[in-house]
């Protein structure tokens, strides 16, 4: 087979594989690691661009010299002479030692400065919100210790806010990642990692992910970051801290069923942790079970058979009749803060 025939096969194959890369984009989901939304992410992105720039520069220089040498010093037909051998040029040696040194300094100074500034412990800083983020198979719990708020799945934060996360996990290792706000960090059972981030200047919803393979439904272990205005955030805090209102008579059967079958794992007052997500304000969440659209059918589908929706989920399927599940859905829909 001549060379062209080989390439005729390889090129279309490469084109097909490059299509697969389009699946890597998070564009359109409100969060993209190379589209920073706040200053921590911007600084990190700046470092990526700087190191990429230096690397590309080095690659270009090396390749230009390399091809120059190949072409310029080719063996020419009819000329078997050996070119002049050069050895030990002080000038060249100094140049190719000093230039990399300068490049490394350009890379090192901002890298070290930014790494240390982003790695400070802000636990005592009153301006920085402290949130404990706890990874569970396959959901995220958020605890605002100072405010005595426990919530899950949707992380609510005000705009322009510096946040320090205390990261931990209850079962296996997970990794906490909000691509639009900065790099990820592991959450390990039994110890706490501190992660410092800040929020965008404008209200928006960002995507958060678990970035460490943690089991069957790892890929579904998403969360949402609802960045809201100051006023909205204050209202959210006040509503979360207020007791959950009594329900109307027509949803009482659902409430009763919930109390009997679900309360052992799910609190509906935000001051308590539980084996499952705290459901205060559940109906306001963006998604059901962290990935399904918030509709009655999806809530029904989830509570009837969680394993079917999210393989390996630790929420058990409770043996109830469809009517009873419908009553519970009606009750769950009342768990709203507005």
HSE toward the beta carbon, residue 264, CA cutoff 13 A? 6
Tokens encoding 219: 């890929």
Residue 194 contacts residue 124 (beta carbons within 8 Å)? no
Q: Which is nearer to Cu ion, 220 or 262 (CB)?
A: 220
Among 40, 210, 220, 329, binds Cu ion (CB under 5 A): 210
Q: What is the smallest separation between the CB atom of 202 and ligand HEC, expressed in angstroms?
A: 25
Q: Which is nearer to ligand HEC, 209 or 266 (CB)?
A: 266
**Residue of 200, 173, 170, 172 lying closest to 185 (CA atoms):** 173
Q: Which is nearer to ligand HEC, 138 or 233 (CB)?
A: 138
Of ligand HEC, Cu ion, none, which one sits near residue 209, judging by CB under 5 to 8 A according to partner kind?
none
Give strand ranges (E) for the chain. Answer: 129-136, 139-144, 149-152, 154-158, 162-169, 174-177, 185-187, 193-198, 204-210, 222-228, 287-288, 292-293
Q: Which is nearer to Cu ion, 61 or 275 (CB)?
A: 275
Q: What is the smallest separation between the CB atom of 282 and ligand HEC, expressed in angstroms?
A: 5
Among 129, 150, 153, 174, binds Cu ion (CB under 5 A): 174
Task: State residue 229 phi and psi, 5-degree precision.
Answer: -65, 160
Binding site for ligand HEC (CB under 6 A): 138-139, 152-153, 258, 261-262, 264-266, 275-277, 282, 285, 288-290, 299, 302-303, 310, 313-316, 318, 328, 332
Q: Which is nearer to ligand HEC, 52 or 317 (CB)?
A: 317
* Total H helices, total E strands in the chain: 8, 12
214 binds Cu ion per the rule CB under 5 A: yes
Q: What is the smallest separation between the CB atom of 48 and ligand HEC, expressed in angstroms?
A: 32
138 preceded by a cis bond (ω within 30 of 0): yes
Q: Which is nearer to ligand HEC, 207 or 288 (CB)?
A: 288
Q: Which is nearer to ligand HEC, 244 or 290 (CB)?
A: 290
Of ligand HEC, Cu ion, none, which one sits near residue 276, judging by CB under 5 to 8 A according to partner kind?
ligand HEC
Tokens encoding 143: 């605890």
Of ligand HEC, Cu ion, none, which one sits near residue 174, judging by CB under 5 to 8 A according to partner kind?
Cu ion
Q: What is the smallest separation between the CB atom of 336 and ligand HEC, expressed in angstroms?
A: 13
Residue 334 contacts residue 283 (beta carbons within 8 Å)? yes
Count of residues that bind Cu ion according to CB under 5 A = 4
Tokens encoding 337: 């803060």
Among 155, 220, 221, 257, binds Cu ion (CB under 5 A): 221
Q: Which residues pair with 228 in a beta bridge?
A: 158
**Burial state string for 138-157 with b = 16 or more CB within 10 A and e = fewer than 16:** bbbbbbbeeeebbbbbbbbb
Q: Which residues bind Cu ion (CB under 5 A)?
A: 174, 210, 214, 221
């Amino acid at each position: 087979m001549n060379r062209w025939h080989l390439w005729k096969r390889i090129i279309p194959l490469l084109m097909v594989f490059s299509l697969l890369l389009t699946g890597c984009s998070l564009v359109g989901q409100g969060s993209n690691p190379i589209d920073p939304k706040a200053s921590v992410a911007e600084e990190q992105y700046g470092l990526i661009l700087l190191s990429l720039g230096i690397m590309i520069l080095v690659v270009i220089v090396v390749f230009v010299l390399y091809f120059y040498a190949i072409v310029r010093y080719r063996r020419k037909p009819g000329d078997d002479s050996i070119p002049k051998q050069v050895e030990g040029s002080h000038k060249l040696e100094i140049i190719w030692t000093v230039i990399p040194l300068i490049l490394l300094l350009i890379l090192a100074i901002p890298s070290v400065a930014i790494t240390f500034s982003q790695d400070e412990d802000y636990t005592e800083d009153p301006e920085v919100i402290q949130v404990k983020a706890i990874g569970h198979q396959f959901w995220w719990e958020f605890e605002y210790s100072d405010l005595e708020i426990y919530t899950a799945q949707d992380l609510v934060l005000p705009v322009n806010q510096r946040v320090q996360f205390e990261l931990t996990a209850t079962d296996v290792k997970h990794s906490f990642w909000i691509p639009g706000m900065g790099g990820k960090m592991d959450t390990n059972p039994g110890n706490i990692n501190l992660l410092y981030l800040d929020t965008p200047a404008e209200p928006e919803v960002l995507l958060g992910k678990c970035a460490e393979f943690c089991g069957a439904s790892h890929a579904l272990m998403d969360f949402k970051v609802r960045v809201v205005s100051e006023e909205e955030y204050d209202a959210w805090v006040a509503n979360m801290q207020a007791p959950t209102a009594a329900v109307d008579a027509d949803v009482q059967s659902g409430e009763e069923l919930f109390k009997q079958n679900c309360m052992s794992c799910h609190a509906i007052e935000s001051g308590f942790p539980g084996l499952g997500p705290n459901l205060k304000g559940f109906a306001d969440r963006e998604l059901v079970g962290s990935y399904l659209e918030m509709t009655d059918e999806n809530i029904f589908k989830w509570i009837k058979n969680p394993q079917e929706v999210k393989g390996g989920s630790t929420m058990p399927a409770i043996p109830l009749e469809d009517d009873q599940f419908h009553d519970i859905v009606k009750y769950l829909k009342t768990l709203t803060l507005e």
